[in-house]
Structure 1
């Protein structure tokens, strides 16, 4: 099967599914490349954008850093099975969108320090500004296996609840934001929070270190002052 025919097969949607715009597909590809450029995904990882109340657009089933401009994304319905060619763990995105109508973007990532801490069942505490967005700390999905069935994906989404991220033991993380841009930025924040947690523990200062209280974290975890826009610009800048 030729490359163009393969893309058409992957992107098949039902007559009632929304047709993503070129800008929406470009945004998903751009987000994926940014995640790859900053080491937040590698051969594995995917990202998605909500299209409407019943559908989302997910990245092509390939390493995100290798996604080309003509690689088609796939429209996924919140009801029914995953389309042919869509990666199995994309069902995690579906379960989060089903439960959280405010969510506009979901990332499945493999950040290095998040991964390291997760193997010890540790998730980062809010020790600095970026960590405050996950206060009091991200929940831990305590199972290193791939999530390849609906029951597992639903259980993870239930455990995640209203959190912005959930760490998967020895298997990366999932982040969710009100937009795809926010979800990408939160993925970078999560890895930086894990860096601070890891380094504080390695330096032996974790116990003496200050952790944000509830009110302090809520005040610091702001998007005002173009905080989101500036980080998105940094992450997506051509290198």
Structure 2
């Protein structure tokens, strides 16, 4: 089934509202989606809080992060989105967030690994990107194409990455997938931290990650999660 521009724009709005309601996004963070007819374009809101995103706030960008349609001041970190779309033709949606449960991992460098079945969607282990490695002292924001491209290289072919001392990114083929991964990443961070406080966690094996993704990560479970979120926040 073909997805229309109107449906994609609606999903971007809903994705922002869902993750704001779920506490994954706060005043900051953002959700974007690739244009369904122009893979060299994507939709991302102008600079506003996620809960206030609407169809009227959406801007259309090219893969250099330049506004090609819409009015308003863009996010400084639009290059997170543009460079990931440029590097990953398979990605249809990008989320950047600072969920409180994952920030201790971003601050300490402690590996974030799947600790429950739905946590498998984050991947076997989440890679770290440290802006210090290539760019030295910065504002911690990904504010130019060079930083965005560096982050995209760290992400590689995975679904998630942690930005040291900053936050996280999650990607998927669709907005429902990137939103679902973001929510599961939040939950996995909280569960892992709680488990580590009790002892040594029993993480999922590589085989369990692969099989859990096939059974629980996509298909009907994803549809059920998206239907739930849309009912609550739509």
Matched with 2:41 is: 55
- Within the candidate set 56, 64, 73, 1:71 is matched to 56
CA contact (8 A) 1:130 1:192 kept: no
Bigger CA drift: 182-191 or 122-131? Answer: 122-131
Whole-angstrom CA distance in 1 between matches of 2:74 and 2:218: 36
Query: Which protein has the bigger helix share?
Result: 2
Pairing of 1:125-144 with structure 2 (within 5 A) = 125-143=113-131
Per the normalisation by structure 1, the TM-score is 0.83
Q: Does 1:234 align with 2:222?
A: no
- Within the candidate set 101, 107, 112, 1:119 is matched to 107
- Rate the CA distance shift 1:221–1:227 in 2: closer, same or farther, 3 A: same
Matched with 1:43 is: 27
Q: Does 1:148 align with 2:133?
A: no
Per the normalisation by structure 2, the TM-score is 0.85
CA contact (8 A) 2:64 2:79 kept: no
Deviations 1:13-40 (A, max 9, x none): xxxxxxx833332221111000100001
CA contact (8 A) 2:43 2:59 kept: yes
Structure 1: runs of 5+ lacking an equivalent: 1-19
CA contact (8 A) 2:65 2:79 kept: no
Deviations 1:47-106 (A, max 9, x none): 111113211111232001123x45330111114645662111111111111111111110
C-alpha RMSD of the superposition: 1.9
Matched with 1:15 is: none
CA contact (8 A) 1:38 1:235 kept: no
Whole-angstrom CA distance in 1 between matches of 2:9 and 2:208: 38
Deviations 1:136-192 (A, max 9, x none): 211011248111111111100001101101111221111000101100000001111
Tell me the secondary structure at the aligned position of residue 141 of structure 2: coil
Whole-angstrom CA distance in 2 between matches of 1:103 and 1:118: 23
CA contact (8 A) 2:127 2:162 kept: yes
Bigger CA drift: 140-149 or 155-164? Answer: 140-149
Structure 2: runs of 5+ lacking an equivalent: 132-138
Matched with 1:219 is: 211
Q: Does 1:191 align with 2:186?
A: yes
Aligned residues: 216
